[in-house]
Structure 1
């Protein structure tokens, strides 16, 4: 019955004379943007009335209390629009929506009462296991990285669950200044969406899904980058964990396209460097997380200790605004994606080294500029 209703909905859309896919892309983006745009003011009003605000702390880059439940609007928009315009994904991946619901609950709880780290980790393990085991979204091969090709089922499941958890938390870590996490998620979704589009109509639901994410986040950014105190909002852990999960999901789906599964009616593609291209697209959260862990270990601190060694903190130390810092970071890491694209046919291990080296170079470039300035001022 449900499938019949969706077919009727598709027939209704197709009568416009515009190809159904492009209608879904356009309407998915438009409604996603509008739902978030009109939801955020209500969330801001309730947050202020109930004092559900992010308090400035030692690691904070803001000086006043700001509502931090913007992730609810992003979830609300993505949940509605993807169920309508990219419903095929929920047929293919049975546990996708359940995973999003769990992340919403955990994120809101953490934004309101601050959950213990181990409770969040348990929830992330459950969510990652649901999508990896239940929906079979996993990394099946490393395409020759370190000489490793096809992974056994157990190793594939374990590695994929760890990848989900790492990316969820890594994306959470880059959400430290206005526009960075949101802007970066828009760029990543656009890059994956373009890739899915180029890889054929079998992947069109993922294209629509990517556009829905872009629409929701762009509307959020309108408020996140606002100069008016009464309009400003953060996405909070709800938004950052949700977007981190979705980008991990889309990146693993991207890699999976190039696995020869010999499915009927599905075109075969092969790109030896597919995992490295995915790493390049997600290079900012990966490098930023590795960088802070390395710095903390060198300084004899726990990898879980909070500090201001993130890339965005380094740019703020150069007296850049939040907007400029976000812009420079995104432009630099877009350069890395471009580099990966033009070098995608070279040896996969060499490409990985180049991408990681360039990524870490960007992480330490602000330190070099800061130290150079200090030396000049001291002389």
Structure 2
């Protein structure tokens, strides 16, 4: 590999751009050509997603698309972004654990506490073993550097919340996949702008984008014979990887020689990361609040998610996905435009806009019913 890189450098070709292009291409192709085989095996062995309380589909659909996503990311990241697995030694191990837990849950349905235990183990491995953690709040509520043990606990909780948050938004065609693709692309662009040291993360983001894009081709298919869901395997894996990339993004702006002190030019980094991940964060918080108000279990499935509200208004899966992603992209744009204001204020604006988006469908439904009376 090193001799090949030297050859390219001698020809005046940047190996970085080659890695991005090939990483994206091969990730796309591996997922694209793996999924038809998974669909065939799923149907033959009846490994299908059965319609349930939270389901918004009426027929059995194969739900092991996440296995193809893992396969392509695992192969391509190991080849084109191999530096990451040297820097973060427990990253690949964590992905493998989530693959096992996800497939088990997609096939036989694991109990919630077993999945939670696995998520705690995975989060602890990456936070403690690879030292990927939130070290500072950049002045939010007057807090800068966080105590090591508080930082570890807070970071583990962040991983667990985001893993489950992406699982919860995976309720209609294209939403979890489309939003994951956008988040990965935005983080990749951000890493690129922050310099050469972060180039492995740029390539890693391109690999994720390629894999998810190929998955969406089948997930958004109008033909039942080629349709597939990512299942818990895919949603947990993508939630974990986006938690990883978001915490890495925040950590870039910390000066390790002066812990807790913001580095570079973006003291609002935590608010920007929240803005990029605003949909799963707000959707999960909203659902938890509604369940608590009505005295229901936090783990009991319901149809209070944003996408369920849009389906209730009569929108199709694709239109619902389009409207949700468009609105939350608007929030990301606003956060980027206001990135130089106080980080605490920006976080309040981002979360407020997020919750407004969560309750807009309720308002539209209320007005529509009152108008028709």
TM-score bracket, shorter-length normalisation: over 0.9
Does residue 103 of the first structure (1) align with residue 98 of the second (2)? yes
Aligned to 2:25: 30
Aligned to 1:141: 136
SS of match in other structure, 2:133: coil
Of 118, 122, 130 in structure 2, the residue corresponding to residue 127 of structure 1 is 122
Taking the aligned partners of 1:59 and 1:168, their CA distance within structure 2 comes to 18
Taking the aligned partners of 1:47 and 1:182, their CA distance within structure 2 comes to 20
Does residue 189 of the first structure (1) align with residue 181 of the second (2)? no
1:161-211 residue CA offsets vs partner (Å, 9 max, x unmatched): 000000000110000000000000000001100000000010000000000
How does 1:20-59 map onto structure 2 within 5 Å? Answer: 20-59=15-54
Q: Given the two structures, how large is their TM-score scaled by the length of structure 1?
A: 0.96
Does residue 328 of the first structure (1) align with residue 323 of the second (2)? yes
Does residue 271 of the first structure (1) align with residue 266 of the second (2)? yes
1:202-231 residue CA offsets vs partner (Å, 9 max, x unmatched): 000000000000000000000000000100
| Unmatched 5+ stretches in structure 1 | 1-5
Does residue 309 of the first structure (1) align with residue 277 of the second (2)? no
Aligned to 2:235: 240
Aligned to 1:3: none
SS of match in other structure, 2:226: coil
Taking the aligned partners of 2:187 and 2:81, their CA distance within structure 1 comes to 15
1:10-43 residue CA offsets vs partner (Å, 9 max, x unmatched): 2355466431111000000000000000000000
Greater alpha carbon shift after TM alignment, 115-124 vs 10-19: 10-19
How does 1:1-379 map onto structure 2 within 5 Å? Answer: 6-14=1-9, 17-262=12-257, 269-378=264-373
| 1:259–1:270 Cα contact (<8 Å) kept | no
Shift of 1:303: 1.7
Taking the aligned partners of 1:132 and 1:9, their CA distance within structure 2 comes to 34
Taking the aligned partners of 1:317 and 1:38, their CA distance within structure 2 comes to 35
Taking the aligned partners of 1:368 and 1:154, their CA distance within structure 2 comes to 43
| 1:104–1:238 Cα contact (<8 Å) kept | yes
Greater alpha carbon shift after TM alignment, 251-260 vs 296-305: 296-305
Task: Check 1:33–1:232 CA distance in 2 against 1; reply closer, same or farther (3 A cut).
Answer: same
SS of match in other structure, 2:225: coil
Aligned residues: 370
Taking the aligned partners of 2:7 and 2:325, their CA distance within structure 1 comes to 40
The two structures, once aligned, show a CA RMSD in angstroms of: 1.3
Q: Given the two structures, how large is their TM-score scaled by the length of structure 2?
A: 0.97
Shift of 1:58: 2.0
Taking the aligned partners of 1:246 and 1:109, their CA distance within structure 2 comes to 19
| Unmatched 5+ stretches in structure 2 | none
Taking the aligned partners of 2:203 and 2:167, their CA distance within structure 1 comes to 24
Shift of 1:9: 4.0
Shift of 1:271: 1.5
Taking the aligned partners of 1:224 and 1:80, their CA distance within structure 2 comes to 22
Taking the aligned partners of 2:162 and 2:200, their CA distance within structure 1 comes to 23
| 1:70–1:239 Cα contact (<8 Å) kept | yes
Taking the aligned partners of 2:98 and 2:62, their CA distance within structure 1 comes to 19
SS of match in other structure, 1:230: helix
